[in-house]
Amino acid sequence: MAKNNEYNKVSVLVVGAGPAGLACAIQLKTKKPEIDVCVIDKSAEPGNHNLSGAVLEKDAIHRLLDSAVEGWQDSDTAKDVLGKKVKKDNVMFFLGRKMSFNIFFIIKLAKRLGLNFGQMIHEGDYIVSISKLTKWLVQIAKDVGVEVLPGFAAADIILDESAERSVGVRLVDQGVDREGNKQPNFVEGEVINSSFVVLAEGCDGLLTEKFIEKAGLQRKSPQLYSVGVKEIIQVSSEQYKKFGDDRVIHAMGYPIWTPFVGPGMFGGGICYPVEDEHIAVGMIVGADWKYCDFNPQDALTNFKNHSFIKQFIEGGTVVEAGAKMIPEAGFRAVPREPQTGSIGKANVLILGDSAGFVNMLKIKGLHNAIDSGMIAADAIVENLENPESAAVRYTELIDKSAVGKEMESAKNFRQTVAKFGPLQGMPLSIFGGLLPKFDTEKDFEAMTIARYRLKPNQNFDKDTFTAVAATEHREEQPSHLTIIDSEICRSKCTPMFGSPCITFCPAGVYETIHDEVEPANPSNCLHCKTCQRKCPFDNIRWTAPEGGGGPRYKRM
């Protein structure tokens, strides 16, 4: 690849080295070794920006590996990354700080009855670190001849004059100071021209959302998000042994919803083994929460203090942490071109979380990300001479695939819970596809002056959280977070809601300085983009900072 600001040309440019983008690149090179495929990622090193639970379903990853790497099962990396399988599948309901009920038998019964809830069974799935999985997939991609470029952040997608197809992608400018002045080392963002552009940026992708707007793609339902906060805790060997390396815990109820008295939020807690003496705990909360003083990290604190979880982690040390959003609204929120229904348009294909392929019945998206990547590769290979037809073909294949079927089966779930709340919405969602389409508001519109009843006494220690996320940005660059209109903060948000961004940003980016709310610490940013989706006045925008900045996850 040439240096910045030279015009380059590749056959296929993939934006985002997550499971979706890498699966696409690997499959492409395996099927058509002669085409040039380039994957760019904004992280300094592969895996640094990838955070997940993660329970990984087998089928898609096996198909990818089977076609790309002979005898992959025998490699040390495979044994490390895919070395744990779920045997004990704890699906818990927490009632208050102490009571817990294992409701796995209900999920099993639901499966037997053919109800959607039966999908929540994870026995036999892998328990993985997505950072490690990503690193491994990058190595496989390189081995089959893909050019993988970490430290390259994409700023925009460029369309031709007719806005009918993309001609490539522009990278972020380098060497600009905080005020936006060009420094002696200034390098204008390179334009990478490409016959196909694959958008695999994960949740709330910067280029994806720009492309949706520029190319006139539409969603039938607004995208809804959830915020996931996660910690890896070093525990004693006794605690780890007691937990076991084949158990996963998914918990609903306290502390994000309790029957009748509230709070009433969607989501739940997770607890997975990581490696010897390390256990991951996480809390995933639907971003349509209404409490102006709520912070998902407060819910994580409560979850960790629940007696069922506490026994495994009490006295432990948090050694890694991070936050990321998940797209929740399902099939109806997949962005499509209105005339053809394509997920993307012409030579631009949208994959994985960028498209919204997460099944919220089980909060799982990795298998769909990988599958959509392979399907995109197949569609591109079929249309090498005719790039304008790739997005339509990709969509035909997706709609017929396991991804399409699974997303269809879960299509009303999140909207039903958003409409009726967890108490009525969860049982109602049993009727799945038989339910009508419920209209939902955007997450930021849900904010009220109500307060989170279970707020812990102590403020969450965001400094330590951010320190162990190891996030870093070059300080002398313009803030990649912008408050569009400060007057809205002054006259509306602060008096009404008390500036919720200061509370909910997991990295403490926002502060009040001389009575003004500002993104005072952009270098703390974890790239979760919660602020952009939860500011109650839709008054914050996230853009990509210089490549290489951001968290440095190793085992997330």
When the beta carbons of 51 and 447 are compared against ligand FAD, the nearer one is 51
When the beta carbons of 21 and 262 are compared against ligand FAD, the nearer one is 21
| Structure letter (DSSP) for residue 501 | H
Q: Which residues pair with 218 in a beta bridge?
A: 336
Neighbour-count burial of 504, counting CB atoms closer than 10 A to its CB (0-12 exposed, 13-18 middle, 19+ buried): buried
| Structure letter (DSSP) for residue 334 | S
When the beta carbons of 116 and 499 are compared against ligand FAD, the nearer one is 116
The reply to whether 316 sits near ligand FAD by the rule CB under 6 A is: no
The reply to whether 300 sits near ligand FAD by the rule CB under 6 A is: no
Interacting stretch for ligand FAD, rule CB under 6 A, among 1-9, 45-53, 289-297, 497-505?
Answer: 45-53
The reply to whether 369 sits near ligand FAD by the rule CB under 6 A is: yes
| Cis preceding linkage at 153, omega within 30 | no
When the beta carbons of 228 and 425 are compared against ligand FAD, the nearer one is 228
Give the separation between CA 3 and CA 553, rounded to whole angstroms.
27
The reply to whether 397 sits near ligand FAD by the rule CB under 6 A is: no
The reply to whether 53 sits near ligand FAD by the rule CB under 6 A is: yes
79: Cβ contacts below 8 Å, ≥ 6 apart: none
The reply to whether 130 sits near ligand FAD by the rule CB under 6 A is: yes
The reply to whether 335 sits near ligand FAD by the rule CB under 6 A is: no
When the beta carbons of 171 and 292 are compared against ligand FAD, the nearer one is 171
Neighbour-count burial of 519, counting CB atoms closer than 10 A to its CB (0-12 exposed, 13-18 middle, 19+ buried): buried
CA proximity to 502, closest of 517, 484, 480: 517
Amino acid at residue number 518: E
Structure tokens at 269: 């807690």
The reply to whether 299 sits near ligand FAD by the rule CB under 6 A is: no
Give the separation between CA 2 and CA 345, rounded to whole angstroms.
28
CA proximity to 137, closest of 200, 206, 86: 200
* Binding pattern for the stretch 508-527 against ligand FAD, x by CB under 6 A and - elsewhere: --------------------
Residues in the chain, total? 556
The reply to whether 52 sits near ligand FAD by the rule CB under 6 A is: yes
The reply to whether 282 sits near ligand FAD by the rule CB under 6 A is: yes
Interacting stretch for ligand FAD, rule CB under 6 A, among 48-56, 232-240, 431-439, 484-492?
Answer: 48-56
The reply to whether 353 sits near ligand FAD by the rule CB under 6 A is: yes
Q: How far is the CB of 63 from ligand FAD (least distance, A)?
A: 15
Phi, psi (degrees; rounded to nearest 5) at 26: -65, -45
Give the separation between CA 324 and CA 229, rounded to whole angstroms.
7
CA proximity to 530, closest of 356, 253, 322: 322
The reply to whether 230 sits near ligand FAD by the rule CB under 6 A is: yes
Selected from 205, 356, 500, 536, the binder of ligand FAD by CB under 6 A is 205
Give the separation between CA 352 and CA 440, rounded to whole angstroms.
23
The reply to whether 352 sits near ligand FAD by the rule CB under 6 A is: yes
Interacting stretch for ligand FAD, rule CB under 6 A, among 38-46, 457-465, 485-493, 533-541?
Answer: 38-46
Total chain residues near ligand FAD (CB under 6 A): 45
Selected from 12, 13, 14, 17, the binder of ligand FAD by CB under 6 A is 17
* Greatest C-alpha distance within the chain: 67
- Torsion angle, CA of 301/306/308/313, rounded to 10 degrees? 40
When the beta carbons of 125 and 518 are compared against ligand FAD, the nearer one is 125
Give the separation between CA 448 and CA 330, rounded to whole angstroms.
25
Interacting stretch for ligand FAD, rule CB under 6 A, among 365-373, 424-432, 439-447, 462-470?
Answer: 365-373
Interacting stretch for ligand FAD, rule CB under 6 A, among 19-27, 91-99, 141-149, 440-448?
Answer: 19-27
| Structure letter (DSSP) for residue 484 | S
Interacting stretch for ligand FAD, rule CB under 6 A, among 28-36, 43-51, 261-269, 486-494?
Answer: 43-51
Structure tokens at 11: 């056959």
Q: Which residues make up the interface to ligand FAD (CB under 6 A)? A: 15-21, 40-43, 49-56, 130, 153-154, 200-202, 205-207, 228, 230, 282, 284, 324, 326, 352-354, 358, 363-367, 369, 544
